Amino acid sequence: MPRLFGTRPDGETVEQVTISSGALTASLLTHGATLQDLRLQGVAHPLVLGSPRLEDYLGPMAYFGATVGRYANRIAEGRFTLDGTTYQLDRNEAGRTCLHGGRAGIGLRNWTLEASTPDSATFALLLDDGDMGFPGRCAVTVSYRATGTALEITMEATPSAPCPISLAHHSYFSLDSSGDVTGQTLQIAAQHYLPVDDRLIPLGKIAPVKATPFDFRTPREIGHHGYDHTFCLDADRTAARLTGRDGLVLEVETDAPGLQVYNAAHLPTEGLPGLDGLRYGPRAGLALETQEWPDAPNQLTFPDAVVRPGEVYRNRTVYRFAQAAQAQGS
């Protein structure tokens, strides 16, 4: 049963609902359709960065664990042209880009808890035509399901007019209690990545990872490089594998074409208050966001991200946990 988590400044109440497979337990919020906490039986620490207080999600921890869109990541100048019409979006990042759908993107809205069972929950949101500048009304749902040691997240959207859509799950994962992901080991099934400019907008070229700091084709430590980039995923493979210092493994499976890897370097050095009394400083977690490629509406060589009436946008991602020995044997 949902319980009251807090009240937003607009007077709307935010509900929290908990789902569980027995081994894996997830706490979810209607605000942002957010994964607020994630626990695995036998592991003492939370697996995602989160807060027990709503006010943190309304401030410095905006997007932590949220479902972001209507277009995740960035669109250059907050502008694109589709079928001969130019659309100006809300520019919420220093007036230069549209980030995660604008100042009132879906990760900052209060969703409706549409359905829940002991192991699943579905949230829904209806966006108006012209919301944040995007064309068409758009019905969005996100469903969480706990099964075994995995959390399955399915995001769907149906627009009433042609519209670029990219939805992403924005948790920061940490697989040990060190408070620093630099020593955790990452592997990504990607031969290429997208170089970006100083606004983090792709330059338009698809670059090989070989002989660069972006080569995670074989497992290696994350290190201190500044990662906030999209990896162009290989098809039909586990997208990524993150391994903590204690041997806990997170495998990411997805049908999305891109994986945004961000090492939370922007977090304040004094830290943010988190779950279980933890403090989150720079590189306290790793975002593994499965999504369409950023700025795709303006990049003709990128996979088409436009969804047309009668079509359904869908992004299904599974975050699966195991101990290292079990993962190697799977």
Active site residues: 170, 289
Q: Residue 324's pLDDT is what? A: 67
Reported as a single tens digit per residue, the pLDDT across 266-282 is 999 999 999 999 999 99
Q: Residue 273's pLDDT is what? A: 94
Reported as a single tens digit per residue, the pLDDT across 237-247 is 799 999 999 99
By C-alpha distance, which of 35, 26, 19, 12 is closest to 110? 12
Return the SS3 of 298. helix
Q: Please, which pLDDT band fits residue 32 given cuts at 50, 70 and 90?
A: very high
Contact 321, 150 (CB under 8 A): yes
For residue 328, pLDDT over 80 is answered with no
d(CA 240, CA 320): 11
Average pLDDT over residues 176-188: 94
For residue 133, pLDDT over 80 is answered with yes
- What value does the CA radius of gyration of the chain take, rounded to a whole number of Å? 19
Average of per-residue pLDDT values in the chain: 96
